[in-house]
């Protein structure tokens, strides 16, 4: 997908292309290995203002039970004890502020609601591409990451967990979105 040269060409309303988007995380386990995972069920929308990026906004809703680390026992533990998906079925991120750093880099601050707690998080975001796909749909791509302390949202189990799993978790986003009404 060719990259658009002018941010103003990005203006519009978008929905996530969930087949081409990855919402993942990395946590250090026993200080020697890393556990990687992702969420398989989510949706999101965005309003991009290319002329005034600070006026842009987005909302992401993740089904917490869709967590996947390729280890059934760990996934069950994450769904139950850590994320308490029965009482807290969704994780949301809603933008509060967008700061443009240069033509392709932004700082996006928003509210992350997880396990009954809502805290601000700032995500480093990079515009990775934009343009029309073969069907005439205008698409935009972004990647980003943020490191959070899971304890701030009460994502913990017991004292042994604090030793075995680092409280710092890196959230990773590889976003593909389709502008509405573009075809």
**Residue 48: what pLDDT?**
97
pTM over 0.85: yes
155 against 23, higher pLDDT: 23
What is the Cα–Cα distance from 135 to 82, expressed in whole angstroms? 42
77 against 160, higher pLDDT: 77
CATH classification code of 7-179: 2.40.128.110
**Residue 157: what pLDDT?**
67
Q: Calculate the average pLDDT of the chain.
A: 91
Could you report the per-residue pLDDT of 51-93, keeping only the tens digit for each?
Answer: 999 999 999 999 999 999 999 998 998 899 889 999 999 999 9
Contact indicator for 60, 93 with CB cutoff of 8 Å: yes
Torsion of CA 55, 61, 14, 144, to 10 degrees: 70
CA-closest candidate to residue 48, choices 183, 179, 181, 162? 179
**Residue 182: what pLDDT?**
58
Q: What is the mean pLDDT of residues 97-105?
A: 96
Q: How confident is the model at residue 161 (pLDDT cuts 50, 70, 90)?
A: low
What is the 3 state secondary structure string of the chain?
A: CCCCCCHHHHCEEEEECCCCCEEEEEEEECCCEEEEEEECCEEEEEEECCCCHHHCEEEEEEEHHHEECCCHHHHHHHHHHHCCCCCCCEEEEEEEEEEECCCCEEEEEEEEEECCEEEEEEEEEEEEEEEECCCCCEEEEEEEEEEEEHHHHCCCCCHHHHHHEEEEEEEEEEEEEEECCCC
What are φ and ψ of residue 10, in 5° steps? -85, -15
């Amino acid at each position: 997908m060719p990259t658009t040269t002018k941010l103003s060409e990005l203006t519009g309303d978008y929905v996530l292309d969930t087949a081409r988007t990855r919402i993942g995380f990395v946590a250090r386990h026993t200080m020697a290995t890393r556990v990687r995972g992702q969420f398989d069920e989510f949706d999101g929308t965005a309003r991009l203002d290319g002329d005034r990026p600070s006026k842009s906004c987005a909302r992401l809703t993740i089904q917490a039970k869709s967590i996947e680390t390729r280890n059934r026992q760990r996934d069950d533990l994450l769904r139950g004890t850590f994320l308490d998906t029965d009482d807290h079925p969704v994780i949301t991120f809603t933008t509060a502020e967008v700061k443009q750093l240069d033509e392709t880099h932004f700082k996006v601050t928003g509210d992350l609601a997880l396990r009954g707690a809502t805290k601000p998080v700032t995500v480093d975001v990079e515009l990775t591409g934009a343009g029309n796909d073969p069907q005439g749909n205008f698409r935009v791509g972004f990647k980003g990451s943020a490191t959070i302390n899971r304890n701030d949202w009460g994502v913990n189990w017991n004292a042994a967990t604090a030793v075995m799993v680092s409280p710092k978790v890196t959230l990773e986003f590889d976003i593909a979105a389709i502008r509405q009404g573009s075809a």
